[in-house]
Structure formats: C-alpha cells, structure tokens
Amino acid sequence: VVPGTRTEPQTAASVAKTTTEPTGDPPAADPLAWLADHAWSREVAGLRRRLRPRTLTPAADGSQVRVDLASNDYLGLGRHPAIVEGAARALREWGTGSTGSRLVTGTTALHGELEAALADHVGFAGALVFSSGYTANLGCLTGLAGPGDLIVSDALNHASIVDACRLSRARVAITPHGDVAAVTAALAAGGWRRALVVTESVFSADGDAAPLAELHATARAHGAVLVVDEAHGLGVVGPAGRGALAAAGLAGQPDVVATVTLSKALGGQGGAVLGTAAVREHLIDTARAFIFDTGLAPASVGGALAALTHLRAHPELPAAVRRRAGELAALTGAPRPAGAVVSVLVGEPEPAVAAAATCLAHGVAVGCFRPPTVPAGTSRLRLAARADLSDADLTLATEAFAAAGVLAAEVPAR
Ligand code: PMP
C-alpha cells in the first residue's frame, strides 16, 4: 500500500453502490475509434490482413483450389486416412479436450508415447509436447534464459522466437541473417551469465538453411547453447525427415536444444521441445507456456503419433517434397530451397497480392507474404511444395505462374 492511501474492504454493498450509481460524467468519446483509422491506413498501403476461409468444395463464384501451394501440409498427411484414424481413435477414447494443464489432468499415456516417439525420431533423449510450436518456442526460450543472460537471435527468426526473446527478459542481440561472424562477436562481447544462440533450421519465409555446424561450433566455443527451431525441417530435411540437426550430426548433443511444430509436415497441431532429460524436467518445472496452458488435445496427439508412424514407414516422402520444391523454384527462378518452402520475390505488396490472386483464379493457391511479416520491399509469393503433387499439378502451376508473371525466363523441360 502506498503511504497515505487508505484501503477499504470491498463488501457486496460497496460493489453494488459503485456499479449501479450513475457517475454523472459525460459519455467518453469512443476509446477504440483509432481502430478505423488504423485499418484504413493499412488498407491504403495494401497491407490489410483478412481471413479467407478454406473451402473443400467450389466457392460461390465457382472457383476451386486444384493445387494447394499455400498450406504447410508438406507431406499431404493432414487428411490421410491413417492419420485421421489415429486422431479419431484418440478422440473417441479421451474426448475432445485434454481437460486441464499438463501438470494437473492434461497428460495422458498418449502424450508420453508421442514424446518418446518424437525424441526417438529427431534424436534427443527427451521431448516435451506443447499446445503449439509457438508456445514451444515461448516455453523453451523463457525457460532457458532470463535476466542477466544473452540470446543471440537471427534477424529473420520467426515471430514466435522474437516474442519468446522479449518475454525471456534476457538481453537480445539480433544478428544479420546467417551471419556466423556476427554471432561470434555477440558472444565474445561477454557480459552475460548464460547464452543461447537461436535460429530456424529452414527459414519459414525465405526457405534457406541456417549454417548449423558453424553456429554450433561458435556456440560451443563460447559455452553457449544452440537452440534450433525445426518447424520447417522436421519431416522434410535429413534422413527420413529427422530434421536438419540430424543431418548435421548435431541431434542429441548436450548443448543443443530443438523445437518443432506438429502442424506442418506432420499435418496436425501442437509443438514440442527436444533436449536432454534435464532440459525436459526443467521446462516441466518452470516454463509458464507449458505450466499454465491446457495440454495438447488427445486427437492432435493421436494424429501426430500416426503421422510419425507413417513417416517412418515412408522414408521416401521427405525426398519427394524436396524434389517438388526444387521444381517449383526452377519454374519461378527462385533460389534453390533447403526444404519445402520456395520464396518468389516480387517486391511491393500490391503486385504480390495481384500475382497471388491470379494464381488462385487459375486454381493454384499460393501464400503471399507482405510487411511486417517480411522486410519492406521484399513482398513475395511463398510456395510450399507437397510430396503428393502430381505432374499434372505442376503443369497447372506453370500456367498459373505464367499468367501471374512469375514464370522464370528459362523454364527447364520436365
Ligand atoms: N516456428 C516457425 C519457424 C514457424 O514457421 C511456425 C509456424 N508458423 C511456428 C514456429 C509456430 O508453430 P505453430 O504454428 O505450431 O504454433
């Protein structure tokens, strides 16, 4: 209590008095009137974000998505009968929700099974499942870093990593994209108790790969931990889709921690942090995004388990999606992708939106990234390859890219 102030116990009568008596003040101006101005300025800049519900049948105007290059369902598992059945079985057995936080009633035997399967597949001793990849990043970075610590974060890291850095209250050094020398300089400057180096393995917007071996070498040399977001690596990169860390021989190293999402190659929903058993135990004990969040729904757990089983039975799928990504890059003249994501630079937001609309009118759904999701002047089409694309799909995509003006000058013969 501030000295000089007086507190009075609130009784039912005092609450009723304050809430029912008119104050006599004139009505305040609408305190949310600024929202309309804000929306208008975003509209005129061509940046307004809108929801466009996905349809499974032709839309009212007769248009229909025939080729989906916009979703993150890289392996086409999201509607695969075996994965849907895995989710349905868990749903029937456990019900629609997990009923509580993981520490209270939200952990089922299935959660443990999924954690064991993920740890085994990605190559770590332990895994902890979160309700999303976003909360996995929040829990991981806030659990492993705090005031007095340093997080060195790549300038193009995903928003969930950016938010996690802010929430950690550690000092954050943002280094130019892929610049290992800048990471080394940030670590060498000292002044920290503990340090993390955090990067995506395959970048979500540009589709390029992080220099994991070099980042690990400098992190290790300075006694820092390397944290790698494998959201776009799991199921796409590395042997049998084990991820970029496995490909680099870094999975399971004691000074490496990974985060994953279950919502991209695995076709479902949820996320996880992977590391040593001690990392897992520490996050269970301290990560607020884990402790105060309702556990992942059983259907999502069952679906992800079935997707992992399917991936193990079909180790050819990751190579198939990477091959299709390479073909999409060749068609559009985009840089060679490290995984499934192909980034076709357009420049300004309006022509990017127009190109995406033209593709859609030709039955090809593509992503369109504009500021602030990507830096100004780098609006682009984002094409996500899928393992289940057919040659006919690629032909249709070629026609759409030509109409949208994003077909490469020299298209390789297929
Ligand atoms: N990290 C990266 C790199 C991502 O692209 C995403 C998904 N947009 C996330 C984390 C968040 O994962 P989720 O969608 O499961 O919350």
Annotation says 72 is catalytic: yes
CA distance 172 to 178: 16
Give the pLDDT confidence score for residue 413 in this predicted structure. 67
Interval 90-97 mean pLDDT:
98
Annotation says 43 is catalytic: no
Annotation says 232 is catalytic: yes
Sign of the torsion angle spanned by Cα atoms 76, 77, 82, 88: negative
Query: What distances in angstroms separate CA 193 from CA 146, 187, 264, 275, one per listed residue?
Result: 9, 11, 35, 21
Helix ranges (DSSP H) in 294-388: 298-313, 317-332, 349-361
Annotation says 17 is catalytic: no
CA distance 102 to 114: 14
Give the pLDDT confidence score for residue 411 in this predicted structure. 72
Give the SS3 label for residue 390: coil
Q: Per mean pLDDT, which range of 32-46, 131-145, 211-225, 289-303 is the poorest? A: 32-46
Q: Name the CATH topology of 57-77+316-404.
A: Aspartate Aminotransferase, domain 1 (3.90.1150)
Confidence of residue 21 (pLDDT cuts 50, 70, 90): low
CA distance 308 to 52: 30
218 Cβ closer than 6 Å to some ligand 1 atom: no
pLDDT above 60 for 85 = yes
- Model confidence, pTM: 0.91
* Lookup result for tokens 């229909």: 64
Residue 35's Cβ-side half-sphere holds a number of Cα atoms within 13 Å equal to: 4
Distance from the CA of 231 to the center of ligand 1, in angstroms? 6
CA distance 359 to 366: 7
Q: Which atom of ligand 1 is nearest to the CA of 271?
A: 15
Confidence of residue 1 (pLDDT cuts 50, 70, 90): very low
134 Cβ closer than 6 Å to some ligand 1 atom: yes
Of 391, 304, 403, which is closest to residue 362 (Cα–Cα)?
Answer: 403
Annotation says 38 is catalytic: no
137 Cβ closer than 6 Å to some ligand 1 atom: yes
**Of the listed 80, 222, 264, 362, which one is catalytic?**
264
Give the pLDDT confidence score for residue 19 in this predicted structure. 52
Give the pLDDT confidence score for residue 315 in this predicted structure. 94
Residues 6+ apart with CB under 8 A from 365: 65, 67, 68, 69, 70, 71, 359
CA distance 342 to 28: 50
Interval 405-412 mean pLDDT:
86
Distance from the CA of 118 to the center of ligand 1, in angstroms? 17
Give the pLDDT confidence score for residue 261 in this predicted structure. 98
DSSP per-residue codes, 64-123: --SEEESSS-TTS-TT-HHHHHHHHHHHHHH-SS--SBTTTT---HHHHHHHHHHHHHHT
271 Cβ closer than 6 Å to some ligand 1 atom: yes
Give percent above pLDDT 70 in the chain: 94
Q: Which atom of ligand 1 is nearest to the CA of 134?
A: 16
ipTM of the complex model = 0.99
Q: Kindly state the tokens that stand for 20.
A: 């029912």
From 134, 157, 163, 293, mutation site for ligand 1 pocket: most ligand atoms within 8 A of C-beta: 134
Residue 22, phi-psi category: left (phi > 0), alpha (psi -120 to 50), beta (remainder): beta
Domain residue spans of the chain: 57-77+316-404, 81-313
Distance from the CA of 16 to the center of ligand 1, in angstroms? 46
Interval 360-373 mean pLDDT:
93
Question: Residue 397: which H helix or E strand, with range?
Answer: helix 391-404
Of 320, 388, 310, which is closest to residue 83 (Cα–Cα)?
Answer: 310
Give the pLDDT confidence score for residue 7 in this predicted structure. 46
Q: Kindly state the tokens that stand for 174.
A: 């943002």
Q: Whose CA is nearest to atom 5 of ligand 1?
A: 204
Distance from the CA of 134 to the center of ligand 1, in angstroms? 6
Annotation says 264 is catalytic: yes
- Summarised one tens digit per residue, pLDDT across range 310-329 is 999 999 999 999 999 999 99
Q: How far is CA 266 from the centre of its chain?
A: 13
DSSP per-residue codes, 221-257: HTTPEEEEE-TTTTTTSSGGG--HHHHTT-TT-TTEE
231 Cβ closer than 6 Å to some ligand 1 atom: yes
Of 72, 4, 13, which is closest to residue 339 (Cα–Cα)?
Answer: 72
CATH 3.40.640.10 fits 81-313, yes or no: yes
Annotation says 177 is catalytic: no
| Of residues 56 and 111, more confidently modeled | 111
